[in-house]
Amino acid sequence: MQMQRATELSRREVLLLALALTAAHHAIPSWLLWWVLPGRAIYDRFGPDAFSNIHDALSGLMPLLLCLGAASRSGLTLGKWKGQVWRVIAVCVPPIVLTAIVCPFTSRPFTGDRVGSWLISPLAQDLLFMGYLFGLANAAFPGRCVRRIPLDKAVLITAAFFSVWHIPNFLGIGAAFVCFQLTYTFIFCVWILLARQWTGSIIPVTLTHMAANYISWKGW
């Protein structure tokens, strides 16, 4: 009984930590820019795009440090690709193609945006969610959601927090698009995290994320 309670407490702590890190991923780079670095001077001198790119780069520092503390568990590895290559391709290509098809029919809020929206931001996000938090959730919630479906519990947990991370977009983007974004980020995250589950690496997930964001940035 004591062992069971300790495990349940550990799982609660993991979920609370994931929630705290999701919020901190937004808050810490803002704190660094305005309280440690001369944020106003950077904004005035280099403009809003460069300021936002620096913000995204800073948002990658915290998850990078966390991942380095448990590199293998966090997916900072080439992973195991033997017998997985075609399965990974089958998982990673459809989100890219669907993004290219659906993007022209949306309000396209990211078209012509800064380069960091596809080059820097996806990596900073994936280090936290697809890397550190997935590894943490996989350790605390091992096994599949349903015995006959090859989907780990960590996949759904990670996808849920990754979707929640996008909620602040309501402050700057139309509500209809953000509701759509919360839905597709969860579905796509579950889908492409299969590649993380199979290989143990964040590389295929991050490359897919960058490619999809590039298409949104390009406006195809």
Spatial CA neighbour of 205 closest among 137, 143, 153, 158: 158
Please report, to the nearest 10 degrees, the dihedral formed by the alpha carbons of residues 201, 203, 204, 207 taken in order: 160
Q: How far apart are CA 97 and CA 41, in angstroms?
A: 41
pTM: 0.91
DSSP label at 152? E
Q: Which residue has the tokens 């780079």?
A: 29
What does each of the 220 residues of the chain score in pLDDT, given as a tens digit?
Answer: 434 444 555 899 999 999 999 999 999 999 999 999 999 999 999 999 999 999 999 999 999 999 999 999 999 999 999 999 999 999 999 999 999 998 888 888 888 888 999 999 999 999 999 999 999 999 999 999 888 888 999 999 999 999 999 999 998 888 988 998 999 999 999 999 999 999 999 999 999 999 999 999 887 7
Q: Structure tokens of 136?
A: 């943490």
Q: How far apart are CA 96 and CA 190, in angstroms?
A: 14
